[in-house]
Amino acid sequence: MQKVFDEVTTLDKKCYEKYALSEDILMEHAATAILDYISKKFKRDKTVFIVSGAGNNGADGIALARLLHGFYKVKLYLPYGAKSNMAKLQLKRANLVGVRISDKIYKSDIIVDCLFGSGLTRALDEKSQKIIQRLNKIDGFKIACDIPSGINSNGQISPICFNADTTITMGALKKSLFTDFSKDYVGKITVANLGVQRELYEDKTDKFLLDKQDIKLPLRKKKSSHKGNFGHLAVVVGDKKGAGLLASEAGFIFGCGLITVISKNEIKKIPNHIMQNKTLPQNTTAICLGMGLGKTCDKNLLNNNIPKVIDADFFYNKDIVNILDNKNIALTPHPKEFCSLLKLCNIADISIDELQNNRFTYLEYFSKKYPKVTILLKGANVLIAQNKKIYINTMGTSLLSKGGSGDVLSGLIGSLLAQGYDTLNATISGSLAHTMAALNYDENNYSLTPEELIKQIKKL
């Protein structure tokens, strides 16, 4: 996994004070990173149009224009002039080598956005909005320097955004790149080296970006074993039995040795390998609860220390508050359910829009109050929190925007809990398996079903 930061101004400052790297040196490396990307991807007969703001993000663009000049057909557009000291210095250098300054926007093969960086704290003015609208309409490859202009420091769109094919962010990954709002605009994200390796540039953080290699699959390495070695997951089936059955099937596919569905009434036509009972089996090692549950729940299912994954309807049940001091709890709400949970816990009474605008913030509030609990907030980018740390899974896809997908996720996490994973590792690996399986689906992107998703789990 990679480190993610709320801001990098302090990291830049560390470079100045600890490594004697000047602002000029960091800027030269920033521009060189974009130069390297362009030179590796595009032939030298291509045209490059660079739009630079008046501050230091604009100065990166001006430096880039100088570095590209002579290799590519470069045009530099400065709609606000050059106002910061570094922007003025870079413009002087660009003028001396003969960089052409444009007075309007031109169609080009490559468009580089250097208007505003990750420190944007205000809504864009009308002129900036019109510039970005025109840039987005150009049919060329779009590169954002540091962060697409229009994404503010909280990851919100203010109110329009440059639509990048790739974002080359400077020094380290920023939180604002990983909100649900940012996802459609950032494209592929790479990190530019600013003069020292990331291990030296970066510092401590409580946010991390998950990679594919962070998954820990429940591969069976022991040769002498039996079904009891791999856990017994109890899945509570409620009013909408299909949800519980999907979770059961997903749990079985993901390595759990035994699965029992718990239901007051007999369920007909369940898979032969799934057992059923009215009460919790004595050898239960994990419980899945909430999917299609309805309004009522047997409290005996809660009053134990068996690891649990809780989803869906139970986030509207006030009894949930009584178990949140237990380290063996994993929660998997979607935004509406999380808003209900926040209200039940007396943390906040907010709308879904307010939550979506501040997903990291409210997850931090919850994790601070209930540090033992692992919570997964569903979304375009999945956020997983425990003990004030947040892990980001950006592999979420619209293929999963289907009824039943969340039930499969609960089954995957429950299966790993039953097999002995702790709640954090079960949730991280379950989430990664869920999204990676969806991305591996090779039919059209609107046709993925929960059953097909479960099939893809087998291929990881």
Query: Same domain for 169 and 269?
Result: no
Number of domains in the chain: 2
What residues pair up with 393 in beta bridges, in sequence order? 382
Give the per-residue pLDDT at 138.
Answer: 95
Query: Same domain for 32 and 101?
Result: yes
Of 141, 171, 204, the position where a domain reaches its end is: 204
Query: Same domain for 373 and 435?
Result: yes
d(CA 406, CA 434): 9
| Contact present, 366 and 385 (Cβ < 8 Å) | yes
Query: Same domain for 195 and 264?
Result: no
Kindly report the CATH number assigned to the domain that includes residue 114.
Answer: 3.40.50.10260
The tokens of 374 are what?
A: 């692992």
Residues with Cβ within 8 Å of 350's Cβ and at least 6 positions away in sequence, in order, are 339, 342, 362
- Hunting for tokens 């856990």 — which residue is that? 231
Query: Same domain for 224 and 191?
Result: no
d(CA 386, CA 388): 6
Query: Same domain for 337 and 417?
Result: yes
Query: Same domain for 314 and 387?
Result: yes
Can you give the residue range of the structural domain that contains 166?
2-204
DSSP H helical ranges for 144-300: 198-201, 241-253
Query: Same domain for 172 and 219?
Result: no
Q: Quick check: helix, strand or coil at residue 51?
A: strand
Query: Same domain for 181 and 126?
Result: yes
Distance, C-alpha 160 to centroid of its chain = 21
Give the per-residue pLDDT at 193.
Answer: 95
Tally the C-alpha atoms within 13 A of residue 356's C-alpha that lie toward its C-beta: 14
d(CA 442, CA 448): 9
Give the per-residue pLDDT at 91.
Answer: 96
Query: Same domain for 316 and 392?
Result: yes
What residues pair up with 222 in beta bridges, in sequence order? none
Query: Same domain for 365 and 445?
Result: yes
Of 204, 223, 251, the position where a domain reaches its end is: 204
Task: Report helix angle 23-41 to 9-18, nearest 10.
Answer: 120
Query: Same domain for 153 and 257?
Result: no
Kindly report the CATH number assigned to the domain that includes residue 308.
Answer: 3.40.1190.20
Residues with Cβ within 8 Å of 96's Cβ and at least 6 positions away in sequence, in order, are none
Give the per-residue pLDDT at 216.
Answer: 97
pTM assigned to the model: 0.95
Write out the chain's pLDDT in tens, 460 residues: 999 999 999 999 999 999 999 999 999 999 999 999 999 999 998 999 999 999 999 999 999 999 999 999 999 999 999 999 999 999 999 999 999 999 999 999 999 999 998 878 888 999 999 999 999 999 999 999 999 999 998 999 989 999 999 999 999 999 999 999 999 999 999 999 999 999 999 999 999 999 999 999 999 888 888 888 899 999 999 888 899 999 999 999 999 999 999 998 888 889 999 999 999 999 999 999 988 887 777 777 888 899 999 998 999 999 999 999 989 999 999 999 999 999 999 999 999 999 999 999 999 999 999 999 999 999 999 999 999 999 999 999 999 999 999 999 999 999 999 999 999 999 999 999 999 999 999 999 899 999 999 999 999 9
| Contact present, 87 and 60 (Cβ < 8 Å) | no
The tokens of 17 are what?
A: 């004070």
What would the pLDDT profile of 11-50 be if each residue is shown by its tens digit? 999 999 999 999 999 999 999 999 999 999 999 989 999 9
Of 204, 221, 245, the position where a domain reaches its end is: 204
Hey, CA dihedral for 35, 38, 40, 44, is it positive or negative? negative
What would the pLDDT profile of 153-167 be if each residue is shown by its tens digit? 899 998 999 999 999
